[in-house]
Amino acid sequence: MKKSLITLALGASAILSAAPAFADLALATSKNCMACHAVDKKLVGPAYKEVAAKYKGDKTAVDKLATKIIKGGSGVWGAVPMPANAQVNEADAKKLAAWVLATK
């Protein structure tokens, strides 16, 4: 019985700690980010793991990436520009940026 409770508690903890990651993946999917990006491989744009590695330790990265998510940009990851995403508001852009930067 004790072992079952510990297993159940650990399982519930894992599910609850993963919930924000799934929520932000859902947000990224709903804003069409996943059409050009993937977490662990380059598609049209860089993998989110590459983005996280590039900006690791940059305290202004969330704001930089949020601006790029909304306004688009070019020249950072090659010749293909990132289009502007006017349908993404600032709060969602910051949430997405923080999620991308936390990708491991």
Which residues, including other chains, have CB under 8 Å from residue 51's CB and lie 6 or more apart? 65, 100, 101, 103
What are 34's two structure tokens? 């996943």
- Per residue in 13-60, pLDDT (tens digit) is 343 334 345 569 999 999 999 999 999 999 999 999 999 999 999 999
8 Å CB contact between 31 and 85: yes
- State the average pLDDT for the chain: 84
Separation CA 48–CA 90 (nearest Å): 19
Please, what is the end-to-end C-alpha distance for the chain in angstroms?
Answer: 35
Domains of the chain as residue ranges with CATH: 20-101 (1.10.760.10)
pLDDT exceeds 90 at position 3:
no
